[in-house]
Every structure is written in structure tokens, then in C-alpha cells.
Structure 1
Amino acid sequence: MGRGLLLTSNLPQLQNLIKRDPIAYKEEFLQQWTHYNSVREIFKFNPDEQAQNFRELVTFISQVSTCYPNETKDFPSHISSLLLDNYGSLSSDMRKTLVQNLVMLRNKDVISSLQLLKTLFPLLPRTTSSTLRSSIRKTILSDIRTANLRTHNHKLNKAVQAMLFSMIEQGMASEIVGDKGKVRAAGHTTDIQGGEEAMWAIILTKELWKKGIWTDAKTVSILSLGCLHPTAKVQSASIHFFLSSEDEEEDSEKEEEDIDVKALQHRREIKKKTRSGDNKLRKQLKTAKKKKQQKAQSTPNFPALQLLYDPQTFAEKLYDILNTHDKRFSLEHKILLMQLLARVMGVQNLCVLGFYTYIVKYLTYKQLRVPSILVSLAQSVHDLTPPDALIPVIRKIAHEFVHPGVASEVIAAGLNSIREVCRRQPWAMEEDLLGDLIEYRKSRDKSVTAAARGLLRLYREVNPNILKRRERGKEAAMDTAKGTQPLPYGHSAEAAVDIEGLALLEDHLSKLREEDGVSLDDEDDENAWEGWDEDSSESGSESEGWVDVEDDNNELVISDSEDEDSMKGRGEAAPKTDSGETTKTSLLATTKILTPADFALLNDLRLQAASKAAQGGSSQAKRKLAELESSKRSNGGPNEDAFISENDILGPRKKAKADYAERMASIQKGREGREKFGSNKGKQKKEAPSSSTNREKARNKPIMMILSSGAVRGKKKASLREKQQKLRAHIERAKKARR
């Protein structure tokens, strides 16, 4: 009897004994299990009564549940139902205890990952504790990551993605009120707070994409559905995923605000000056500068844009939201929608003609954030965009931005934006308008001159026929005399018969083979792929191995020589090669599998050949060298030129005044490798280098400085007694000197 009472009152001791010998202490466990069921029934009606006892019993049963699986088979469902049905009436300690024990059951493999996630997902939008919310979020992410660690768990991924889809779709039927994060349910007159579940679905999906756990098309579909959600907060979070691929930590409460540099400096001026305060301010300013640079250099999420399902329908829905709710959204949110729509159109070569009619009303130099709007306009244009839809837009830009009544910065922005649009669709320019625009190359402002020259240089390359003869330049005039004509709208160039720079790579590899005996066998090819290969499962493809292609009718014929012969027979020109590259056709592509390392070496060889050609002074070779250097710095994808920044629109500007830290850094840099600064007077004529004394310096002072000094004024005010004492002291010093 004494032993039973001791075990009943001391659950940790009973837990230890049960883990050692479950069979011997089964009766004591059943006693505690009966007690747990009784307390649970009481707890449902009165959660405050016996809360501490109930928490201890739940923890005890969770620890020993693996010892008695048949008796505790309903225990996980008890915890899940309490969390889902009675979450609002539970205390914070009880919520934390139930969640921790449910996670413990998952770690002991008592429940599956799907059972755990079905309980935790609905708790995220209902949890008010930041600590518990962060714990639930980390648990969800770690559980999914562990399940996909060795191989993709498709069953779990499909179930979780279905839950995320349902969390977003719950608020899709609501009506948009504005960009304040509130929606109104369809058929109801009262406002409801919506979008919390959808917001958490977006946050978790973005985190899984960032960590490389989910990189398939379904993940992109979840985020694309969030872009169409009626809550502006959910829209903004989803849009930012497509607009930027930089790693950023999402805050579930609110987005992190930018650091106010002026406020920090002002606070530093009015507070007490300390060394720790200076160090703290320096770190904050460094962080603010780093964030600003990252924001300016953020690159678009190109893989996600490529994985969009039915991008034309997606773009049309984005335009409908932008056009229908134009007066309900703020300017910042409308610009986000413009940027996403423009990038989807540019990457996927889509045509949403209503977008150009919509954006015209924002094309004025007085419009706030007009550089971002001009960037969106330029990014939406591609070679398949109808020129008729762009001609009114270019006219509006020229009318609003390019005239003598505005500042030079405005003119430069207008010319640069017109150049970016015409670079993608050259047929959108009119001959008379082009003649007027390139006249600004004679302006006194450097930014305007550079913008006008860039527009002139563009049309010398793409369509010199619409330029006047004296403005075409030497190379364009020679091409026109030969009969070279630009491709009309809708026509595509001939298929490529060779890879640019491949002949350079072949020559380089042959030299290595001759000098160092480097072989190009299959073993070397396999070694060349080391560090460059990617797991096919991460790309979202479920297929493995090679796919056999049947050729029943023997219609699949590939021959580079036939393409070359047909081009020569038609009298067409061969594709242009880089400046400085040989024009011979390399057979390396048909005899060797090129690895990413080979392509990297190929780009370096093209850059070296272009730099040698640019030394001859050819402007075309210099432009080619600049393009190769720019592409190497950006290291972007095939559609990297579809994305531009505001700096491309604003053009070169005057250098801003350096702050104190930059000036001091420049001063310190100038002092490097130099002797210690200071006067060398009096140091060369003495055995021990030293400067002159104050008495020696006083002898050479100007008389006007001496008259107003304290010593002279003291002599004038001295009494007769003081004068006698000074005279006597002078006589004594003179006598001593004569001795």
C-alpha cells in the first residue's frame, strides 16, 4: 500500500520505473490513465480547475505512451481536439504544454508528420504568443525538411501543399476593401479580419522555397494564388517573392522598417557623447548602408517566373486587379503589381495590351516614384510586343519628359526610358520623333548627352534606315550599302549553327593537350562535372534517367552542314561572331559533352578575345567588351537583359557630397606609404631632431601680434617695484654670464 501511494503521488518516479519495466508497472499506469480521463472530462467544462494536475498527467502519458501503444492509441487525438476545439479557452501554459507533448509524440513516431501538421497549421493564425508562434513555425519547417532530407516525400508534400492551398482559398471569395489588410466577406455587410491564414501559408511556402526544400511548380502555384488574394498584405508578400530572390527573414507580425539615418545622427548630436555610442551609431549606419545596397542590387526570382502555370491567364488577372481597384490601392501597392506584371510579360513574352493604356496616365515627371513606373514599362516590352501599342506610350514620354521646360535630369530619364523600350522593340519608334530626340546629344548637360547618344547608337545597330544619312555612322552606312536590312516585326532570325566562342575553346584545349598532355576522355568529362551537378529531384522533375525517343518514319535528321549549305544557297549572311573571334565552325560540340566548367572557360576566352580586339580602337569592339563584362558581373540567366534598375533610367548623375566617414577614409588612404605629416623646421640642423621652442617662435612673431599679447600688456601695467625687481634680476644674470 505504501509503495502504491508513493508511485501515485510521484509521477516522475513512476515514469522512470515504467520505462525500465513496462509490464511490472502496467497496473499503476492504468490507474493514472483512468485518473487522466476523469480530469480531462472535468477540464472540458472548467479549464481553470485542476489545470496543473492535468498538465502533469499529459506530460506523463506522453513520455510513456510508447510502452503502452494499445491503451494510449486515442491519446494524440485527445490533445489535437483540445487544441483545435478549445484553443481560445486554454491558458498560455496549457497551450504550450499541449503543443510540446504533441511534438514529443511525433519525435517518438507515435503520430505521423501529417497528423502533426494538420494540428499545427490552424494554430498559427490563432496564436497570440510570439514565443509559441515561433516554436510552431520552426517545428513545421524542420519536420518538412526532415521528411525530405534523403529523398522527396511526395505523399507528405502533396498533402501539405493541399492544406496551404486551402488556407489561401478560404479568403478568395471576399471583397477587396483596400490595402489596409481587411476584407469583407461576400454577402455580409460587416467587416471581418481576413488573410491571417493565407499570410502564414505564404510565409511558410517562401521559407521552404528559400531553404531549397520545395522548388517545384506547385510551390510557385501557391504563391501565384497569393498574388491574387483580396488582402493587400497577402498580395504584397507574394509579389515580393517573385520580384526578389534575396534571402530575407519574414516577420510574422510586421515588416521590418528601414533605418532612419537622419534620426540616428540627430539623436547622437543631442545625447551625451560616449565611445560606445559612437560605435553603436557606426554599426547602425553600416547596416543601413548594406540594406540599401542589397535593396538596389536585388535580382528577380527568375526560376519562379519560369515555373508559372498558365502565365497568360495569371498576367490578365493581375491586370484586372490593378485596373479594377486602382482607386482602392495605394501608389506603393500599385507599383508592386505593375512590376510583377511587367516582369511576367517580359520573361514569358506575353501581351497584355491594356497595361500600356493603363500606364499612360502615370507617365508624367511630376508623378511620385516615376522611375519605378518607367522601369516597369520597359521590362514589359519584348520583341513580340505590337509596335502600335507602344507608339502612343513613347509619344507621351517624349511629350512629358523631353522638352526644354524641365530639368536636365528629367530629360535624361525620358531619353533613357525611350531607349530601353526601343531596345526591346525597335519598330516602336517614329522617324521624325527619333530625329528630334537625338538632337539632344548637343546638350551641355552630360547626362542628357549620354542618353541621346545611347539612343543614336542603338538605332545605328538595329535600324539605321530611319536615321538621316549623316547620322548613321561609318559601320551602319557600310551595312546599308551592302543591302543589310533589319528583321521586320514578327520575323525571327535563322537558327544558330554554332556556339559563339566554341572555336576559341577548341584551340585552347588543343594547346593544353599539346603542352601538358591533357586528355579529353570520358573520365575527364566526369571529373569536370564535379561541383557543378545538381540533384534532379530538386528541380521538381520526378522523371529519372534518359527518355527514349522513337523515330518511326526516320524524320529526325540533324545536320549542321545542311543548315550552312541552305543558308549559303539562299545568300544569307552567317551569324555574327564576337569581336576578335575566328569565324571557323568548331566540331567540339559534336565530339565532347560540354560541362559548366567548359562554358565558364569559354566565357573567359571570349572576354580575352574581345579585350584584344578593343585595343584596336573599334567602337563596336569596345561595346562588345562592355557587354561581356556586364554579363559576367551580373551572372544572370538567359533573360537577364529583361530586367533593369532605376539607375538605368536615371542615367549617370553628379556624385553626391561625401559624408564625414567617407572624407576621413579618403584622407587615411592618402596618408598610406607616407612619412608622418608635420613641420620639418629645425630638425635638420640639430644633432637630435626636435622642433623650435616657444621663445624662438616668439622672436619671429609680427609686431601687431606682440602688442596685444599678455606679456606686453603686463609690462605696461607693472608697478615701479616690479620693474626694479626685473631689472635687478637681469643685472644678476648678466654678471653670471660674464663669469
Structure 2
Amino acid sequence: MASKLITNLPHLQNFIKRDPESYREEFESQFVYYVDALEIFKLSPSNKDFKFYELVMFLAQVAQCYPDDEEVLEFPNEIVSLLRTQGPVLHPETRMGLLKALILLRNKNLLPPMLLIDVCFDLLRCQDKSLRKLLQLHIITDIKNINSKSKNMVLNRELQDFLSKKLLDNHAVAVKTALDVMIELYRKGVWRDKRNVNIIASACYSKVAKIMVTAIKFFVGNDEGEMEDSSDSEEEEHVNVKKAMLAIRVKKNSKKKERLNMEKVKKAAIDNNKKKNQKLSFDFSALHLIHDPQTIAEKIFKIFNKRNERFEVKLLMMNMVSRLIGIHQLYLSNFYPTLQRYLFPHQREVTKVMTYAAQAAHALVPPDDLHPVLRSLADNFVTERYSCEVMSMGLNAIRELCNRNIHAMDEDLLQDLVGYRNHRDKGVYMASRSLMTLFRQKNPELLERKTRGVPTELLKEGEVLQFGENTAKNFIPGAEILVFKTKAEDFMKDDGFGSDSNCSEDEEMEEGEENGDKDTVLDEPVEVNSTITSQEDEESESEEYDSDCDGDGENDDGETDDDNEKENTDNDEQKAQEQPVPSKTNKELKKFINEDKSSEPPKIMKKKEAISEVMKMTPTERATVASDIMSSRFLTDEDFARIDAVQAAKQVERFKNKKSSKRKREAELGEDRDVVPLSSIEMIYKKRRHDKAARMKTTLEVRQSRQKYGSTKGRMNPHASTTNREKSKAKIFDMMKHKMRSSKQKSTFQEKQSRLKLSMLRQLKNSY
């Protein structure tokens, strides 16, 4: 058996791992064979030596069994020196085997990590694709295993310094591998720090185009993904629907009008919760960790102007610069005239360029720089000489740009663009009305009086800021409802889930009947989509917009809506200038604020009563009361639930309780985002044309379902004789030609004329 152990290395390896000391002599003899085989191998390293490879793998497997032997400690260094000196000359299989042996020794902690990583980068110069893949995989796995249990900050800093030096190497493969390693470690969450991100950012202006594209794609190429919606957020949406359901029941209305108003409040509450719970799938944290974004943006833009790269690479550079400008609020004045050169309908990938123009706008960009871009979009896209799809995309791009900087638009241009709200094409007038809705919310003064819409309580509380102006509030809007004592369960009850919700609704109905209240409560939650999905909804919204935008009808009192609105605004301005005597509402507010001083317990109001009192207050009174509340107490979850309910009611409550309009409140356009999605530019409300395969599939399905051609009556008796018409089809021509002759004689003048015309055309054609 002992003689077989010398040649049968797997058996010997098994025995040594079980009892190392008993088989020390066999191990030493095999080590002597390895030394002799190494000297022979050095004489012809390019040849494939399978015996030498087996000895190396055997020693790598059992080296941890003899950690105190000096010969074993020198074994890894000998393999490292062999790979460094003879690496490019070695046979590919032998070189791969030696590398696997070193990786095995590193996994057993018999080799320091920095030494093996340095050897790996030396081997990248070999022309072996499979070897390079193994090297990159080992480097990533090794660094990940080092930081699996705890972060070794000293070693991580050494590795990052080493990789940053490799980014400056002359060998393009080594630079590309180092960059790929750092990007992969960031994505795996191992090196997610500022140092790693800024090292990757330094490769964005590399001289090698492939390396530059890889680095830029790391920052801007994470656009694909799905929205993450948790079950908790869905439950909160239904809870907030119940919170806002009683907000509109401030005054008595008919059942139909009450139901419509409650649906508005439900829709507003659900939209607000979606905005809060919505989590973007994009991962832009790397862009936020850049130390000097201004320098990086200027360098990339300089490369964009000087180098003659492919158009796809230029698009990546434009995307990177626009995102840096938008996220970090940079100022790069020459970037906007450059974008104008690509803003033409015939330009390739023009929708992406329009997206980058919108991304590069923010509140601190001077309007004089953005106005030429806006004018280019209007002149080159929103014209009748182009198709309706081009006009729709131009209007959408203008809307997204104005959403980020409202001061870039002037009044004359806005009136021209809003004039397309009555266009014949659906995509054009929907895009124009979305632009009008944006300015209704952010700066209604630029719109004409008839297109400003009905002012709401929430709109009146806001202020139109001038360019560069910024106001900080010392209160939370909507906190004024906390001055009234209400039942917590009115705001925190479930909506349509389980028996508790049914019981709570029954109690509300009983209270309503006792008070003589005939209001109806909707049990089923209203599902609201952020975009218009059905054609019927779009048509109904367009009709309602028409009634708001162009309707100058009179009220029941004989006065127009514009006159009423003007009177209300004048009264509000007059009240704001004067200092009125505290009204009954102010006295009640002081009573609730100083409730601790009063001896009598405060009155507990119902939800609709509290919201009714809030609606009676002026914006100045609400701000005063909310600031007092914020300075005197800490807010709980129940308090935030009350604030959400009153804010939802303000979005649909007309200013000063004017008569409700038939207009359905359109969902607010999204808040400022880091990135403008391409779908917002290409959002065209038009039915897409099916391709040929889809049309053929639909045709075949219809053919199978429909009946055959012919009379639907059929024969009563299938064995009955045939008719004269059917018999005539089987007769020879000589028996039927007299009937055809008689039919020609009975033909009309028009039939004869058409036959003559065809005959003459045939003769003319044959003559040529």
C-alpha cells in the first residue's frame, strides 16, 4: 500500500488531511519530487507538464496541514515568482492551474491578499480571455469575503489606493479591469463610500473611449427597474382614503353632488399617499457622493466639444452633464446653446436630447439662459408644419422644463402654447392642457383670466416666488386643525377591511341619522391611476377642461364666475391690509389654544366640523395658528393623519366656499425629480398602430368566431329541389344567352355608358 501512495496523490492527500503527522515522510518525499520537477519545468516553461501541475495542486491542498515548515511557507512565493517571470510564456492550461493553486492558498489564508491581487494584475497582460475572467472574478470575490464579517478599513484603503493607481496605468486591459472591479464592488454593497465613487468618477474623462463610457454608464445607466410597492403602503392608502372622506361634507348638498365631491377628496388623498410612498427605482446615490461635480461636468463637456466620438457616446456625455447640473444645481452656461443644435425633429434620438434639456434646468439657472432653449422647442416642434406627434412631444418637453424652472416662460409664448388646448388632435390638446395645469398651480398670473381655473384653498396659501427667492416656513401647512379637539379614531380608522371598519361605518351612519344628516358614505375605495389609461376618461376630462377654460357662464345670481372671483380676491386683499377686530373664529382659536387655563373642558368636535372651521379661516390666520401649534407640542402619527386629511380637503375646496364646478381635479404634476423620464416626453395620447403580426392574429380570431358568408335563412329541408337560379348556373351557355341578351336590352343608360367607357379604355390601351 505504501508503494501506491507515492504515485496515487489523491489517496495520499486524503490520508494526510486525516492524520498529518503519520504521513510526514510521504509528504516530504513528494516535496522533493516537486523541487526536481520545478527545475526541469524551468528549462522548458512553454511545454505542458501534467506531472508538475499535479504536484503543485497536491501541495496546495495539504499545505495547511504543515504550517510550521519553512519549505511549505516558501512554496507560494515560488509559484508567484514563476508566474511573474514566466507568465506570458507558460502554456495556457499550466498557467491556469498555477493560478488556481494560488487562489486555493489564498482561501486558506496562506497568502496575503495584496500580493495575489498584484500578481493578478500582472497576469492581465497575457492574451488569454478565460484567464482574465478568472482574475477579475477572484479579485471581486476576495475583497467581498474580506469585508463579509467586518469592514477592514486599513486593508480597504490600501486596496483602493492600489486600484486608483491601476486606473492611471498605460495598459488598457488593466485599467478596464480595475474599473469593473470597483463598479461591481459598489453594486454589491461592499465599497459604497465616497472614496470609491470619486475614484470611478475620475475615469469619466479618460482618454480611452471604452473606459470613459463604462464610467459614465455607471452613473447614468441604472434607469431600468420596477417600482417597489410594499403592502404597508397599500394599507396606508386605504386608511388615508377614510381620513379624507368626510372632508368635503361642510355644507348641505344634493346626494349626487355630495357623492361627486367625496370622490374628489378620495382621489386627492390617494394621489398624495402615492407620492409619499412612491420609491424611485433609480439608484442615483453615486451622483450625490461626488466631491467636485462642477469640475467633472466641465471636463466632460470639454471632451464633448473637442473629441469626435460616436453619437451614442455623445448622448451619454450629455446625459451625465445634465444630471450633474440638475442634481447639484450647477451653472454651465455653454451647455444650453450646445443642446439647441440638436433640438430639431429630424435629429436622431431627439427625445433623449429633449429629456437632457429638461434635466439640466433647475430653479437657480437664469431665465435668460433657458428661454432660448424654450423658444427653440416651441419654434422647431410646436408648429403646424409637423405631425401631431412632434407637436405633442414639444409641448411635453416644454412642460417638463418649466416644471423645474417656472421663470423661463414668458407670457406671450405661454398664451400661444395654451391656445392649442382646443386642437383637433388629442395628443396635442392634452399636452397643452397639462402645461396650462402646471402654470395654474405654480404661477397663474402668466395665464389669461379665463384659463386660470378656480382657485382652491391650497393654492391661495402658496406664494409665487421670484427668481432666486426662497422662503422657509416655521410651521407645517395643515397643522391648524390640531387646535380643535377631535376623535382620534375618526382619522385613524381602517377603510373597508374586516369587521372593524364595518362597525365604525355603522356608527357614523347612526350619528348622521341622529343629527339629521343624510350624507352618503362610499364603502369601496376609489382606484386612481397617475396617468390616463382609458379613452373614455380622457374624453371626459377634455370636456371638463373645456367647461373650465372657455366657460364664462353666469351663476344663479346673474354674476359671472370671473366677477365673483375678482370680488373675493379684492376683499381678501382689503382684509389683509387692514387689521380687523378678532372675529368669533379667532376667539374660538384662542380658547382652544389656552385650553389648559380654562376650567371647562374643551368641546370635542366631529371631523367635518373641525375641517369646516379650518376652511373658514384666512391663510394668515392658518399660518399663525399652525406656527403656535408647532412651537408648543410634538406631533404624533394621529396629528399627521389630521394634517393629511385637511390638506386633501384644501385641494378640492374652492376658495371662500364658492360654488363647486364640474371640473374634476387633475392629479398634480410630479415634484422636482433628479431625472426626467423619457416617457414624460413621449407621452402621446394616441392609439398605436398594430404591426402586421398583431393584425393577422386579430383577423384570424375574428374569422374563426364569425359565421360563413351567405344567406342566414338556409333551407328548411336540405333534401328539397334546387331553385331556378341554382339550376341556371349548371346550364350551358347556349341555353342562357337569350336571357343575357334580354338583360342587356333592359339595362339603363348609365350602365350602357359605363360599359362603353370601359370598352373605349380597353381599345386605347391595346392601341398603344
Q: Fold-level match, TM-score > 0.5? A: yes
TM-superposed deviation, 1:227: 1.8
* 1:438 is aligned to 2:470: no
Aligned match for 2:368, one of 383, 388, 394: 388
Counterpart CA distance in 2 for 1:501 and 1:195 is: 60
Q: How does 1:68-467 map to 2 (within 5 A)?
A: 68-69=66-67, 70=69, 71-124=71-124, 126=126, 128-130=128-130, 132-171=131-170, 195-245=172-222, 299-325=281-307, 328-467=308-447
2:449 is the alignment partner of 1:495: no
Q: What is the CA deviation profile of residues 498-531 of structure 1, one whole-angstrom value per residue up to 9, with x for unaligned ones?
A: 2768979x979655889999xxxxxxxxxxxxxx
Per-residue CA deviation, residues 469-517 of structure 1 (Å, 9 max, x unaligned), is: 44434439x999x99862111111223512768979x979655889999
Hey, what's the Cα distance between the residues in 2 that align with 1:211 and 1:703?
85
What's the CA shift for 1:318? 1.7
User: The residue matched to 1:498 in structure 2 has which SS?
Assistant: coil
Equivalent of 1:36, from 34, 56, 63?
Answer: 34
Deviates more, 1:586-595 or 1:316-325: 586-595
Q: How far does the alpha carbon of each residue in 1:539-591 deviate from its partner, in whole angstroms, 9 at most, with x for none? A: xxxxxxxxxxxxxxxxxxxxxx9xx9xxxxxx985899xxxxx9898769964
Q: Answer whether contact 2:48 2:94 (CA < 8 A) is retained.
A: no
* Alignment partner of 2:680 out of 648, 653, 672: 648
Inter-CA distance 126–344: structure 2 relative to 1 (3 Å threshold)? farther
Q: Contact conserved, 1:422 with 1:428, CA < 8 A, in 2? A: yes
User: Could you tell me how far apart the structure 1 residues matched to 2:190 and 2:149 are?
Assistant: 11
Which of 61, 64, 80 does residue 63 from structure 1 map onto?
61
Q: 1:471 to 1:66 in 2, by over 3 A?
A: closer
Aligned partners of 1:43 and 1:50 also within 8 Å = no
Alpha-carbon deviation of 1:442?
A: 3.2
Is the Cα–Cα contact under 8 Å of residues 476 and 626 in structure 2 kept in the other structure? no
Check the 8 A contact 1:402/1:410 in 2, yes or no: yes
Task: Show the counterpart of 1:190.
Answer: none
User: How far apart in 1 are the matches of 2:55 and 2:648?
Assistant: 74
Distance 1:27 1:437, change over 3 A: same
- Report the Cα offset of residue 167 of structure 1: 2.5
Q: Which runs of 5+ in 1 are unaligned?
A: 172-193, 249-296, 518-560, 565-570, 577-581, 632-637, 680-690, 717-739
Q: Deviations over 1:593-637 (max 9, x none)?
A: 779xx99x89997998689879x97689723x455xxx7xxxxxx
CA displacement at 1:109 relative to structure 2: 2.1
Once the two structures are TM-superposed, the CA of residue 403 in structure 1 deviates from its matched residue by: 2.5
TM-score normalised by L of structure 1 = 0.64
**What code does the residue aligned with 1:337 have?**
M
Q: 1:607 to 1:33 in 2, by over 3 A?
A: farther
**Residues 613 and 621 of structure 1 are in contact (CA less than 8 Å); yes or no, is this contact kept in structure 2?**
no
Q: 1:146 to 1:456 in 2, by over 3 A?
A: same
1:51 — aligned with what?
49
Change (3 A) 1:28 1:449: same
Contact 1:501 1:605 in 2 (8 A): no
Assess, with a 3 A threshold, how the Cα gap between structure 1 residues 472 and 677 changes in structure 2: closer, same or farther: closer
Which amino acid letter does the alignment assign opposite residue 450 of structure 1?
M
Structure 2 CA distance for partners of 1:699 and 1:246, relative to 1, 3 Å? farther
Structure 2: how far apart are the matches of 1:705 and 1:603?
83
> How many Å separate the matches in 2 of 1:342 and 1:702?
80
Q: Structure 1's 168 and 35: CA in aligned 2 closer, same or farther, altered over 3 A?
A: same
Letter in 1 for 2:301: Y
CA deviation digits over 1:397-448, x for unaligned, max 9? 2222223322222222222222221221121122222233322223222222
Shift of 1:349: 1.3
Q: TM-score, normalised by structure 2?
A: 0.61
CA distance in 2, matches of 1:458, 1:235: 38
Q: CA RMSD in A?
A: 4.8
Q: Residues of 1 paired with 2:626 and 2:697: CA distance? A: 49
The verdict on how the C-alpha distance between 1:657 and 1:209 changes in structure 2, with shifts beyond 3 A counting, is same
Query: In 2 relative to 1, CA 591–427 (structure 1 residues): closer, same or farther, beyond 3 Å?
Result: closer
Does the CA contact (< 8 Å) of 1:503 and 1:586 recur in 2?
A: no
Matches within 5 A, 1:593-604: none
| Structure 2 counterpart of 1:622, from 655, 658, 665 | 665
TM-aligned CA deviation for residue 39 of structure 1: 2.7
Secondary structure at the aligned position of 1:351 is classed as coil
Q: 2:690 aligns with which of 636, 654, 658?
A: 658
| 1:33 partner letter | F
Give the aligned residue type for 1:196: V
Question: In the alignment, is the contact (CA less than 8 A) between 1:498 and 1:586 conserved in 2?
Answer: no
Do the aligned partners of 1:503 and 1:584 also contact (CA within 8 Å) in 2? no
| 8 A Cα contact 2:220 2:319, kept in partner | yes
Contact 2:47 2:90 in 1 (8 A): no
SS at match of 2:179: helix
Contact 1:356 1:390 in 2 (8 A): yes
CA distance in 2, matches of 1:75, 1:508: 79
1:121 CA drift (Å): 4.4
The whole-number CA distance in structure 1 between the counterparts of 2:17 and 2:125 is: 37
- Write the deviation string for residues 78-113 of structure 1: whole angstroms up to 9, x where unpaired: 222333332221222112211221121122221244
| Equivalent position of 1:11 in the other structure | 9
User: Which residue identity is paired with 2:96?
Assistant: K
Q: Distance in 1 between matches of 2:280 and 2:489?
A: 40
Is there any run of 5+ residues in structure 2 with no aligned partner, and where? 226-278, 501-589, 594-617, 736-768
Sort the Cα spacing of 1:156 and 1:655 in 2 relative to 1 into closer, same or farther, 3 A. farther
| Residue aligning to 2:525 | none
Q: Is the 8 A contact 2:194 2:290 kept in 1?
A: yes
Contact 1:244 1:299 in 2 (8 A): no
Deviation at 1:58, TM superposition (A): 0.6
Question: Is the CA contact 1:441–1:450 (under 8 Å) kept in the aligned structure 2?
Answer: yes
Q: Which amino acid aligns with 1:368?
A: R
Match of 1:412, as an amino acid? Answer: S
Note the C-alpha offset of 1:708. 4.4
Distance 2:370 2:493 in 1: 56
Residue 72 of structure 1 aligns to a residue whose secondary structure is helix
Amino acid in the other structure paired with 1:407: S
